[in-house]
A and B are shown apart, each in its own frame.
Chain A
Amino acid sequence: MTFTRREALVLGAGGLATITLAPAAMAAAFEDAIAAFTGGAAAGEGGIEISAPEIAENGNVVPVEVSAPGAEEIVVFAPGNPAPAVCNVKFGPLAGSQRLSTRIRLAKTQDVTALARMGDGSFVQVARTVKVTVGGCGG
């Protein structure tokens, strides 16, 4: 299959458009996911911490710990992944603390974001940048 110069230009432009569109669509999915959790309420700051490595060499296994004392529910998002949701944790009456440690996949360098719903119904949010050397979503 051969392309004329004109066709090649059109294809190139089309490809560029889809590449530039994709991040916008991903950001929208991320915003929607946050809104679905908070019900549109604004999230405050403080009272929630997220710890993750500054640089993750292997995006397939990135250790992440989230803690929010007094939280009833915590969600974690990776906005740069093809699907931003990571996990959702509900703490029961016998939880010793509102803390969770796990390992997640990150497709690229991004701000890992955690939100918590506190006992009084308010929401808090925190984000932390993780640099990813090799992405972990199987590209």
Chain B
Amino acid sequence: MADAKPRVKVPSSAAAGEAFTIKTLISHDMESGQRKDGDGNPIPRKIINRFTCDFNGTSVIDMTLEGAISANPYIEFDAMIDADGEFTFNWYDDDGSVYSATSAISLA
């Protein structure tokens, strides 16, 4: 799917050192490589194989995804911040493309 559309939900502000939840969703078929087409030929694998979230260059999570992750991967996790800044989200596709999203946040 060429038009993978990332969506992230991050609060606009948070207290220092306090955990808050980030939700991410990206539209993607996550073709697992296990399925077969109408002629019985296997459909080649095409999934998002890695997802990362960084805040001002420091890692929050770094996740490896396999074929067993559902289509339109939804990932929810917790983060905390100690300064104003920006979250960077990257999804790495099997075909080499990288889908990115950013979200600014400030200290409450």
Q: Name A's B-contacting residues (CB within 8 A).
A: 60-62, 65, 78, 81-83, 85-97, 99-106, 136-138
Q: Smallest distance from the beta carbon of A69 to chain B beta carbons, Å?
A: 11
B32 at the interface (CB under 8 A from A): yes
Report how far A103 CA is from B19 CA in the complex, Å.
Answer: 22
Chain B contact patch, size range: 20 to 34
- A105 B68 Cβ-Cβ under 8 A: yes
A92 contacts B66, CB within 8 Å?
no
Contact residues of B: prevailing secondary structure = strand
Chain B residues with a Cβ under 8 A of chain A:
18-21, 32, 34-36, 54-55, 58-71, 73-81
**Across the interface, do B20 and A102 meet the contact criterion of CB distance under 8 Å?**
no
The residues of B that contact A81 with a CB separation of less than 8 Å are 68
| B78 with A97: CB separation less than 8 A | yes
Q: Which residues of A contact B67 (CB under 8 A)?
A: 83, 105
Judging by beta carbons under 8 Å apart, are B66 and A87 in contact? yes
Inter-chain contacts of B78 with A (CB < 8 A): 95-97, 99
Closest B residue to A106 by beta carbon equals B68
How many Å lie between the Cα of A54 and that of B76 in the bound state? 21
Docked pose: A112 CA to B23 CA in angstroms: 23
| 13 A-B pairs (CB sep. < 8 Å) | A62-B70, A83-B68, A89-B64, A94-B58, A94-B79, A95-B61, A95-B77, A97-B19, A100-B63, A100-B75, A100-B76, A104-B70, A105-B32
